[in-house]
Amino acid sequence: MKLLTDLAIVLRVVPYEERHRIVTALSQNSGKISALAMNAVQSKRFGSALEMFSAGDWHLVERAGQNLFRLDEAKIRRSFENIRKNFETLTLASVFTELMIRLAPEGEPAPELFALHSNALAVLDERAKTWTQDFTLPLLNSFLIKLLRWNGHQPQLTNCSQCHHPLEDLELEMGATLLVEEAAWICSTCRPTTAHRGRVSMAGIQDLQNLHRIPIKHALSFALTTPADQKNIFNYLENLFAYHVPGFDKTQLKSLRFLGLESNPQSAAASPL
Ligand SMILES: [Zn+2]
């Protein structure tokens, strides 16, 4: 029996028998973990620390030969309660949570993922009261590009993949085609753009590069190009996941349907790029 303490953010809560709960969380030091919270239904000792998205200090007991920890104590550190007061922020937090459930390594440290997830929840919590639809895609795209970087599948954004012209030397009004299979882009001089899904303006690629470079907490602080570019970038990032990330099946993330972001990874990935 080994005692551990860790900072953990709740990802999923499942009732177990009548009085207990099994809680899955993203922890700062051990990646994704699951713990049995005995008598969590009646007992007040967990307070609101086991609510969805809550961050708290967990006291865990590791049991030999078992993947499931026992949770002895959880003290709330931040509840991110504003997130639940706005439908869009609630939906985005659910998307981020779903991605962490799918991709975070079990029982292995993933401090970058913990930082990404907690900073993204903080942005949602702080902006929930004044949230507008214009925030949704930039924050989602920022989260996705950072997740791609974490697992080593970030696209090459700095140069056209054919003529190798650097992005900053090209006119912002020029078009480009986003390439899923190659995880890159090609300028409209090398390949004239037509009205298909992989098209984006050079300014859109610059946005994506900025979202890639800056911390997610600043993702909403600079002006972005058109919603159409953001939507195309979102489809591109989603297709990169479907095409390149092992274990990421091609079904759409469940919570995304609430955002009204139609997506069709297969047809876009197979389009003649
Ligand atoms: Zn080119």
Give the architecture (CATH level 2) of 2-80. Answer: Beta Barrel (2.40)
Residue 155 CA to ligand 1 centre (angstroms): 16
pLDDT for res 257: 76
Q: Where are the alpha helices (DSSP H) in 72-151?
A: 87-103, 111-127, 133-150
CATH number of 132-269: 1.20.1440
Distance 192 CA to ligand 1 centre (A): 10
C-alpha 188 to ligand 1 mean position (Å):
7
Strand-strand pairing, 184-187 and 175-179:
antiparallel
- Residue 272: pLDDT band with limits 50, 70, 90: very low
Query: What residues contact residue 207 under an 8 Å CB cut-off, 6+ apart?
Result: 138, 224, 225, 229, 230, 233
Residue found under tokens 């020029």: 174
| Cα 166 to averaged position of ligand 1 atoms, centre (Å) | 9
Average pLDDT on 199-221 reads 91
Q: Give the span between the Cα atoms of 180 and 184, in whole angstroms.
A: 7
Determine the distance separating the centroid of ligand 1 and the alpha carbon of 191, expressed in angstroms. 7
What is the rounded (10 degree) CA torsion for 214, 218, 220, 221?
-100
- Model confidence pLDDT, tens digit, residues 52-102: 999 999 999 998 888 899 999 999 999 999 999 999 999 999 999 999 999
For residue 249, name the pLDDT band (cuts at 50, 70, 90). low
Range(s) within the chain of domains with CATH label 2.40.50.140 = 2-80
Q: What is the pLDDT of residue 223?
A: 66
Query: From CA 243, how far away is CA 180, in angstroms rounded?
Result: 7
- Between the CA of 181 and the centroid of ligand 1 the distance, in Å, is 17
| Cα 170 to ligand 1 centre (Å) | 9
Say what the pTM is: 0.91
The predicted-structure confidence for 79-91, as pLDDT tens digits, reads as follows 999 999 999 999 9
Q: Is the pLDDT of residue 228 over 80?
A: yes
Task: Determine the distance separating the centroid of ligand 1 and the alpha carbon of 13, expressed in angstroms.
Answer: 49
Chain-centroid distance of CA 164 in Å reads: 30
Whether 269 has a pLDDT exceeding 60, the answer reads no
Residue 264 has pLDDT above 90, yes or no: no
What are the residue ranges of CATH 1.20.1440 in the chain?
132-269
